[in-house]
Structures are given as structure tokens and as C-alpha cells.
Structure 1
Amino acid sequence: MNNPVRGGVSGEVAGKAPVVVVAGGGTAGHIEPALALADAVMRLRPDAKVIALGTQRGLENKLVPARGYPLELIPPVPMPRKPTPELLKMPLKVRDSVKRTREILDRVGADVVVGFGGYVALPAYLAARGRTPIVVHEANEKPGLANRVGARFAVRVAVAVPGTPLAKAEVIGIPLRRSITSLDRAALRAEAREFFGLDPDAPTLLVFGGSQGAVSINGAVSGAAKEFADAGVGVLHAHGPKNTLVVQEFPGRPAYVPVPYLERMDLAYAAADAVLCRSGAMTVAEVSAVGLPAVFVPLPYGNGEQAVNARPAVDAGAGLMVDDADLTPAKVAELVIPLVSDADRVAKMSAAAVGLGHREADETLAKIVLEAAGA
């Protein structure tokens, strides 16, 4: 591919437009960094074309088109955690998914494949191997199977944190949306409180448990609704689209506002003084970037990566960590409400949070990707 030559008009680029294929389907933790990268690529090379890979059942079917990028669907390759009859079907499923993915890469003329892990990334890596340059991004300190495989074939490997056990790893942080990294919470506070129907002045806690919600978090926080009301603390609680949450109203007290899903995370962050949430890598990066003190409740499953994700923020004084099994309405009343109510403590923890992370990770990764594509 020829190197691009900038023309006389600002932003005009001569030469072949790069075609970037991103593979980050399944959960928001995989999709959002992929979309943040896509946005950064388009800022740096407005003539580029970015295509996302996904599956029929993934959250990408909603998120990717909403951000304006084309989505190509491939058969999923879920990896069983334990020996099961399903394991015997894996070679056939992998072969079919790789074949479909290779057809897509050839049809769109992919110049580079960028994977973010998960069951969409594995067939993408195998389809691109030896044919199209691969760039891997790993958000967790403990890489999953897909990225461990992909890193073996990649021309560049980017990671979020030091100590990630992948060869050739370059620490760049996690790509985040510019609406998050450039967020002025103070300037948006009044608009955000009005948008959600929250008290304009009361200390306010934001609660969410990932894109699907978390039953344990929902029960513990809503069970302390009276204590929040008595303390004069408002709550914005995203309980998940498949869950229901009925909370008693307390007239004359700050509102407890339950919502199924947060379409405007920027306004949710701006409305809050502190957050109680899971500690996926993307979540930790975002709440740190916007300077929100956090009470992290790591997911009690998997390989323990969520506790690992939260540890730097906790050690820096920007957050607290509570085991999922210990999160009860009494624990919320004892630990969380005093935190949100203490303006001085909130300010100190907020300052500590802002010092964490890599705000330019999106453009750093975009430059790596464009270089790998020869653009």
C-alpha cells in the first residue's frame, strides 16, 4: 500500500483508503474499546473504512449500528469452560466460523484486523493469519484464550496494564470514547440531574452492574432505599433490561431513580458524586477517567480478573472493594452512604481517580493500527 500524501485541502488524503476490521463482539467490555478505536481511526484518517465483526446474539447488534459502522455477522465460537459434549463439536464450529470470516475479509479488502478478545476475535485471528496483519488489544491483566492465540500471530500487541503475560506487549491503556475522556462533569451536572429526574443538589450515587445488570447489586442497593432517603442521598440505578426493580418512594426526599439501561453514560457520570459497580476493565477505566470515586463489587465468577482490575484504583485511594457475597443492604448503609455523603472524602477520591489511566489510548492504538495497515 502506498503511503498517504496529504493534499492541499485540510484533512484530504491521497492514496488507497485503509480498510480496518475490528473484532470485539459479545459484551460491552469488548465492543466499546473497538468502537472507541473506530472513532479514533476516522479522526486520523477520515477516508478510512471501518467494519465490525459480530454475531446475531451479541450486544454489538445494537451498539455498532448506533455508532454508524457496518456490522458483518459470523457464527459464534463459544469456548466451553469444562469438558462437555459441546467440546467435541468445536473443530467443526471453528472451521465454519473461520471460513465465513475469511470470506468477509476478502470481500471488504481488509488491510488489518484488530481483535479485542472474546468469541468473535478467535475466528478473526485464525482467518487473518498469514493473510492480513493482526493487531491485538487486551484489556485485562489476565488474557483470555482468544487473545493468547491471536498474540502469537500479531504484528503488534497492545495491553491496558503492565504485567500482562503476552509477548511483545505494549502498555497503552484502554481506548475510551471521547465523550468520556473529555467529559466535564461539573458543567453537565445540572443538565444531567434534570435529564434523569434527580435532585439537583443532593449527593447522588450511580449504580450499575454491567450492560445486563447484576441481581446481587440490585437487591443490596434497593434494599437500602430507606437509608438513602433518610441520609438525603439520591440514587440513579441501572438494573438491567431483563430485571425489574420496584423501589418505595419517600416524598420530600431525594429521588431513587431506577432505569433498565443507561443510553447516556456521559450524563449518568455527570449526575453522580460516586458510583457502585462491577469492575470490568472498561468500567474501571471509564470511572477513573471521569474522576468518580467507586465502590467496586467484582464479579464472583471467572478467573478473578475483576478484582485484579479494581486493585490499582483501590490502592491509589480512588475506590473501595467489596466482595459480592458481602454486599448486603446493611453493608451498603454502613459503607456506601457515609462515603457519598462526605463531600471532602469524595473530592479526595475523585482527584486520585483522575490520575489513573491513559486518556489518549484510543489515538495511540489507532496509530498502531494504521501503521500495521500500511496507511
Structure 2
Amino acid sequence: MSEPRTGPSIVVAGGGTAGHIEPALAVADAVRELDPTATVTALGTERGLETTLVPARGYPLELIPPVPLPRRLTADLLRLPARVVRSVRRTREVLDRTSADVVVGFGGYVALPAYLASTGGPLRRRRRIPVVVHEANASAGIANKIGSRLAVRTLAAVEGSGVAADAQIVGIPVRGSITGLDRAGLRAEARRFFGLPDDGPVLLVFGGSQGARSLNVAVSGAARALSDAGVAVLHAHGPKNSVEVPGDPGGAPYVAVPYLDRMDLAYAAADLVICRSGAMTVAEVSATGLPAFYVPLPHGNGEQELNARPVVAAGGGVLVADGDLTPEFVATTVVAVATDATRLAEMSAAASGTGHRTAAHDVARVALEIAASTARERT
């Protein structure tokens, strides 16, 4: 028999990709910091990254059936109502068992069932649970557009996302280990950790949790030029990918790894980044004050380019089309920036000025305030 709960119960719904999970966990951390009596439960699916990321951060994970929303008229669309009902029913069980006071959703496959289960949806509830929606992307997804119509508060990372006209702009919640990162203080330790030289510029390359083939090909193809210019490389190529680099470049080293478990140390070791421009990536990179070449995914609805535009407009980054990122581009343009200390400093200052370092705590305060109101109404 579980012990009686003394503090507020908050459910975060943001499974599927790291772009949905990481903001949810950053808010969960902030809730715990602001109110140690609070209970935070994460909703997820068995197919998402949350099955590893959530337990590793010390939060209980409740799995529900995913509800992917088809973008086209297919047979999947005909099966959608039954999937929604099944997922909402399971989510309702979780909300009842945890005595949820508020649900905070971040979009994705898990969010829509959470919104519907909290506010009624296709299944009637004994009580309604208030919903808070946070939209991280510059272009809102379907789940959050629906959720914002049911929510008591809607928050967004940037203006013009399309999630709700009255959305409060708070930025993207980023974990404290990143927003509070002392890059200069950790630089020596971080470089030793990865086997990088104490001096000279370091280029950090990553393409998300699975890597990005175009980034891998372009940067590894310029390995000799980077090494000759004295630019060391820390390259996370993805667990299912690999890169070929000269065995002994003779200059600065090229360190290739499948995955980066310590992103805080990777950021501390780096002077410049080449990466995709998912909302979470842009938020973390700019929060650390790192200059970056942002390479948006060449497909989708163009939201990745929109995510990077504010940082680029401020002078903290450069947008590069996927097809334009070639070994020649890296060997010339990237090397020129990496070896220009003055420009790196200017870009770093610009990037630092675009972030919202308090976003996680801002969202957590909203959630706790609403949870407290819910608890008062019950008594």
C-alpha cells in the first residue's frame, strides 16, 4: 500500500522524441526544486526515447498507447478514432491513480490523449483536470493546437507559433545542467574527458540522438582540412552510423563517438557547433552561448529553419541548407569561423542573449499554481 500523498500531483506529457521529452523533464526537475513535496509522473509510449530518458532522471513513467496523427488521408486515419478512445481510457486510469492536479503537455503522440482524458474527450470523466500546454516549436503541431483549445493556460517558446493567440512567451524549458553550465570553468575537465587538446578550437558535431548522414559525410570529408587548420573535432555520428577519418591526421584530433551521454561536457569542450535545428537543440546550444551552424532537416514543414531564425538574426548562428553543407563548405567557411577568435566571441555573446534561461521554472510555477488551485477546490 502506497504512502498518502502530501504535495501536488503533476503529470507531464511529452513522449516520442527528445524535443518533447527534454522540456518535460526540465519542468519536472524545476517542479521538484520549487516544491520537494510534489509528485511528478511522466506519460509515454513504449516506442519512444522516454523509456530510457525518464527512468534515468528518476521519474515514474506510465505507458499509454500512442496516437500518431496521420498527415494524409490513409487507412490509418480510419483507425484513428478507435486508437484515441483506447489511449484516452488508459490515460484516464493513470490520471485517476495518480490523483493528478494538473497535466502539462508538450505535444507529440502522448499529449493528445492526455489533453482529451483530462478535459473529457471521447470518454466522460468524474472530474476535469486542468491542462497547461507548452509549444516549443516555431510552428505548432496538431496535438498542441487541439490542446490549446482545452487548456487553462497556453505557453510558447516564441511568438507566432500558431498555438494560441493569447499564448504566454516563456522560451523552451532547458535542464539546469545546461542553463547553469560554466563552460569556461569546465573546459579543461571536459576536454580531458573526451581526449581533446587543452588549447585550440574544438568543433562539436551532432545530428540528434540518431545522428544525421549529411552532417556525418560533410564533416568527416573535411577531416584533413580541419586537422591541418588546428581545429579539433568532437563528432557524435549516431549509434547506427559511422564515419571514416584519416587514421593519423597529424594535426588536431578527430574524436568520433556514437552518442554523447555527457552533453554538458561536450558543450563545455566546444567553441563552435554544427547541428540540426530542432527546437530543443537550438534552445540548448544558445543557452550555453555556443555559436553554431544550424542545418535544418531538408523535409517536413520547415519548422527547423524557423526555430533557428531568431538566433541567426541576432548574430549567434548561421543557417546552412542541408544540400549546401559539403566537405568544401566545412573546409573553407566553417574553418574560417572556427579559427577566428574575435568572431567566435561576438557570436557567443549574441547567442547567449537569445535564450530564456528561466523557462523551466516559469512553466513549473504555472503548473504548481494551478495544482494548488485544484487541490483547494477538492477540499
Instruction: Tell me the residue number matched to 1:24.
Output: 14
Which of 306, 326, 329 does residue 328 from structure 1 map onto?
Answer: 326
Deviation string for 1:301-342 (max 9, x for gaps)? 111011011111111111111000111111111211111111
For residue 163 of structure 1, report the CA deviation from its aligned partner.
2.1
User: Which range moves more in the overlay, 61-70 or 327-336?
Assistant: 327-336
- For normalisation by structure 1, the TM-score amounts to 0.94
Is the 1:142–1:164 contact (alpha carbons within 8 Å) kept by the matching residues of 2? Answer: yes
How far off is 1:251 after superposition?
A: 4.8
Residue 252 of structure 1, CA deviation: 3.5
Classify the secondary structure of the residue corresponding to 1:110.
coil
Contact conserved, 2:130 with 2:151, CA < 8 A, in 1?
Answer: yes
Q: What residue is the counterpart of 1:369 in the other structure?
A: 367
Distance 1:72 1:19 in 2: 14
Task: Determine the C-alpha separation between the residues in 2 that align with 1:249 and 1:82.
Answer: 47
Q: In structure 2, what residue type is equivalent to 1:132?
A: I
Q: Corresponding residue for 2:337? A: 339
Question: For residue 137 of structure 2, what is the amino acid of its counterpart?
Answer: N
Aligned: 1:182 with 2:172:
no
1:149 aligns with 2:139: no
CA distance, structure 1, for counterparts of residue 347 and residue 204 of structure 2: 15
Query: How many residues end up aligned between the 2 structures?
Result: 361
Equivalent position to 2:36, from 31, 46, 60: 46
Following the alignment from structure 1 to structure 2, what is the Cα–Cα distance between the partners of residues 247 and 96? Answer: 49
For 1:227, the aligned partner's letter is A
Instruction: Give the superposition deviation at 1:168.
Output: 2.5
- For the residue of structure 2 that corresponds to 1:76, the secondary structure is coil
State the match for 1:206 in structure 2. 204
* Residue identity opposite 1:195 in structure 2: F
Contact 1:249/1:255, CA 8 A, preserved across alignment: no
Question: Take 1:128 and 1:61, find their aligned partners in 2: how far apart are those partners?
Answer: 23
Cα distance in 2 for residues equivalent to 1:53 and 1:247: 41
- Counterparts of 2:102 and 2:167 in 1: how far apart (Å)? 18
1:257-286 CA-partner distances (Å, limit 9, x unpaired): 111111111100000000000011111111
Aligned equivalent of 1:231 = 229
Per-residue CA deviation, residues 176-206 of structure 1 (Å, 9 max, x unaligned), is: 1111111110110010001011121121100
Name 1:133's counterpart in structure 2: 130
> Do the aligned partners of 1:229 and 1:250 also contact (CA within 8 Å) in 2?
no
Code of the residue aligned with 1:263 in structure 2: it is D
| Aligned alpha-carbon RMSD (Å) | 1.1
Distance 2:247 2:60 in 1: 43
For 2:350, which of 349, 352, 372 is the aligned residue? Answer: 352
Q: Deviations over 1:61-116 (max 9, x none)?
A: 11100000000000111122222112111111111111111111111111111100
Residues 224-373 of structure 1: matches in 2 within 5 Å?
224-373=222-371
Question: Is the contact made by 1:233 and 1:341 (CA closer than 8 Å) also made in structure 2?
Answer: yes
Q: C-alpha displacement at 1:250, in angstroms?
A: 2.5
1:58 aligns with 2:41: no
Check whether the contact 2:206–2:236 (CA below 8 A) recurs between aligned residues.
Answer: yes
TM-score, with length taken from structure 2:
0.93
Q: Is the 8 A contact 1:139 1:173 kept in 2?
A: yes
How far has the Cα of 1:121 moved from its partner? 0.5
Moved over 2 A (4+): 249-252
1:20-69 deviation per Cα after TM superposition (whole angstroms, max 9, x unaligned): 00000011111010000000000111000000000111000111000000
In structure 1, the partner of 2:124 is none
Are 1:115 and 2:105 matched, yes or no? yes
Q: Per-residue deviation at 1:164?
A: 2.4
Q: Determine the C-alpha separation between the residues in 1 that align with 2:329 and 2:249.
A: 25
Alignment-mate amino acid for residue 11 of structure 2: V
The percentage of aligned residue pairs carrying the same residue is: 66
User: Per-residue deviation at 1:162?
Assistant: 1.6
> Which stretch of structure 1 is more off in the superposition, 169-178 or 237-246?
237-246
Deviates more, 1:115-124 or 1:328-337: 328-337
- Of the structure 1 ranges 272-281 and 124-133, higher mean CA displacement relative to structure 2 is found in 124-133
Amino acid at match of 2:101: D
> Secondary structure of 2:348's partner?
helix
Matches of 1:200 and 1:82, distance apart in 2: 52
Q: Which amino acid is the alignment partner of residue 257 of structure 1? A: V
Corresponding residue of 1:159: 156
Query: 2:227·2:249 contact (CA, 8 Å) conserved in 1?
Result: no
Separation (CA, whole Å) in 2 of partners of 1:319 and 1:168: 29
- 1:206-225 deviation digits (Å, cap 9, x = unpaired): 00011111111111111111
